[in-house]
Amino acid sequence: MDWANGHGGTSRNWFTAAVCLLGCVYYFFFFYNRAFVELDIEVDTKTRFKLYWAREDQPFSESKRAQVIVVPGKKHYSFYLTDLDRVDLLRIDPFEYVGSGTIEKLSLSQNGFKPITIDPADLEPLNDIAVELATAHGLQISSSGRDPNLLYRPNIEKQANGLFGEAARYAAICLLVILFMKGCAPLRRDFAFVPLLLAMVLSLIVVMAVVSKRNAHPDEYVHLDAAAYYQEHWLPPEIESETIAHTYSVYGISRLNNGEIYYLFAGKTARLLEAFNINEVHALRAFNVLLFGLIFLYSVKSIGARLVALPFLLTPQVWYIFSYCVSDAFGLFLCFLAGCELVRQNSFLIRVVDSDRRFPLGPILAVSALLGMLFLLKINYYPFIVLIYAAIVLPWLQKTSDRGKTFARLVICSLLALLLAGIRVGADYYVNGSDRDEKLLAVQEKNAQYWYKPSTELNKKHMFMYMKDRGTTLKDMILRHKWFSHTFETGFGKYGYFTISGSETYYRLVKWCAILFLAYLAAAVALKGTSEGKLLALLVGCLALALTGASLHRSWTIDFQAQGRYLFPVLPMIGIILAKNRAAVDNRVFILITLHLFLLSIYSFVFIALPAVPRM
């Protein structure tokens, strides 16, 4: 079954044929079998253009629509819709504001169908349309509300396909697959393909970081402002200082007050880059890009690091987090380092727990610093800390001698880590005094928008706040508000302020591929894994369920935030399981499933995120 030698030729041929078939199927579903939309539009402000489709006897719904961010000064846009065979009606939502705009061109094309160019005279106003005027420049629309939309009944006609041209495309796909697999066969050994794929991802991260506009990403403005503060400062700020008033979010909370050390590192990195005259936004994003670059370099050197990093290849949402200024990237990087310490031979942590070695002062300080930074992460990373200690304790329990020495060293590391974390927390109290918590509450009351103020009555708060107290049941959260669906989609490719998303087909494919990945991993570990690996896999499953439950409970009881990134600490946990059970997963089937998810992620990032994200 080894690609790098001559054995298993028949199975290798079948495997190659399966990959060729998979490539052809993806081309059919993502490109051939979807309509390509070209839009020329002029708008007065940044907004969303949405295109809904439906059957004649069906209502329009959010699950059947495509959208693109449109901005003043840019006219031409393009995106994919759905199979025209599934379309009887189109609803056009040109913008989302009270004002005017002009649709100059709107056309749809798909293989096997005659191209459709929408005539403005054929559009029927449905809602919030004050004036529509067909001119030589297109359809000028004035809205009376924030939800103007028009109806179009397309005349869809099929036409003969160019069979020769299509056959040539499928042949080219198969040829590329064969050449790629032949050329990359040696990369299977020791998971050498992982650094190559990480390098590809790093290039995409750099592109996103460079081209995307400031605050084009979720809450980036508060992260940028918090990191910018540390360009000039070392100590935490005074909570009530007017100099940080702009860093408070709509919730009345500043990232400068949450104890995370990320903003200090990001700010000082940006300060170092000032000598190169780099744009401030790019400089503040550079720290996260650098972190992913370090993950790539570590994976080049270490096989264990490759396996810990492998789950980062499975979702484009991880790549997205490293492309803008947000503290989750630092959390994932620290978890990656900690995972490498657990699985890499002769790591600092291994030297600490090896009682046969002399007192390892350097490794103890390094492990303590890493643990100290982990203690300062957001609470959703704490299950990963539990896994670290469990992975250390399991071998320790199997020891018959020198347990006390190992235990003492772990206690020393833990105490030093708490001391380092305490320095950061203590600095905050040093600046703000013992009544820091009271000051935070007062500032939140002052700076929060009305919907989010602590003093606002429950029935006047935002509709997604304290949903349990409002009478929403847990069943409603799951079924009516679709918490799991939103969490999944925002974990596998939703961009901007969750307005840039993939198609139903994409999420459905990712879902089943992710289920297949986890099922195969569970089966491989159960059948061929080591005893330690099996115990850790069981613990990871429990921690993942606990983290999911905690995220759901917080959305239900405090604020509805169904975001997949809150569950991302599970990814390096899976990486640790892979490294601890390397022999069980070092085979073609596992690699095929991994590459399958990677290619879906590439599709999402390249064809959905990059074209639609607002540009500089």
pLDDT tens, 319-354?
A: 999 999 999 999 999 999 999 999 988 889 988 888
Mean pLDDT for the stretch of residues 407-430? 92
Is residue 322 within 8 A of residue 329, CB to CB? The reply is: yes
At residue 9, the pLDDT reads: 57
pLDDT tens, 423-433?
A: 999 999 999 99
Band of residue 202 on the pLDDT scale cut at 50, 70, 90: very high
Does position 42 have pLDDT exceeding 80, yes or no?
yes
Mean pLDDT for the stretch of residues 360-379? 93
Q: Report helix, strand or coil for 104.
A: strand
At residue 46, the pLDDT reads: 81
**What tokens appear for 497 in the block?**
């302020």
At residue 317, the pLDDT reads: 97
Does position 2 have pLDDT exceeding 60, yes or no?
no
φ/ψ bin of 135: left (φ > 0), alpha (ψ from -120 to 50), beta (otherwise): beta
Q: Rounded CA gap, 540 and 522, in Å? A: 11
Element (DSSP H or E) covering residue 334: helix 328-343
pLDDT tens, 279-305?
A: 999 999 999 999 999 999 999 999 999
More confident residue, 330 or 5: 330
Does position 187 have pLDDT exceeding 80, yes or no?
no
Q: What is the CA radius of gyration of the chain?
A: 27
Q: Rounded CA gap, 109 and 595, in Å? A: 30
Band of residue 83 on the pLDDT scale cut at 50, 70, 90: confident
Residues above pLDDT 90, as percent of the chain: 53
Query: What are the two backbone dihedrals, phi and then psi, of residue 422, each rounded to the nearest 5 degrees?
Result: -65, -30
| Nearest of 74, 86, 92, 88 to residue 37 by alpha carbon | 92
Does position 399 have pLDDT exceeding 80, yes or no?
no
Instruction: Read off the DSSP letter of residue 185.
Output: G
For residue 530, the tally of other CB atoms under 10 A from its CB is 15
At residue 236, the pLDDT reads: 92
pLDDT tens, 231-253?
A: 999 999 999 888 898 999 989 99
Boundaries of every domain in the chain: 9-30+172-190, 35-152, 193-436
Mean pLDDT for the stretch of residues 103-115? 89
53-89 b/e with 16+ CB inside 10 Å = b? bbeeeeebeeebbbbbbbeeeeeebebbbbbbeebeb
Give 149's strand partners: 127
At residue 4, the pLDDT reads: 39
For residue 441, the tally of other CB atoms under 10 A from its CB is 12
Band of residue 6 on the pLDDT scale cut at 50, 70, 90: very low
**Domain range 35-152, CATH class:** mainly beta
At residue 401, the pLDDT reads: 65
The CB-side HSE value for 344 (13 A sphere, CA atoms) comes to: 21
Give 138's strand partners: 135
Instruction: Read off the DSSP letter of residue 29.
Output: I
At residue 11, the pLDDT reads: 61
At residue 20, the pLDDT reads: 84
For residue 180, the tally of other CB atoms under 10 A from its CB is 14
pLDDT tens, 215-227?
A: 889 999 999 999 9
Q: Rounded CA gap, 543 and 380, in Å? A: 11
Mean pLDDT for the stretch of residues 431-447? 90
Mean pLDDT for the stretch of residues 367-390? 94
pTM of the predicted model over 0.85: no
Element (DSSP H or E) covering residue 357: none
More confident residue, 136 or 336: 336
Give 59's strand partners: none
More confident residue, 401 or 227: 227
Point out the least confidently predicted range of 230-239, 352-361, 368-377, 399-408. 399-408
Q: Rounded CA gap, 257 and 480, in Å? A: 35
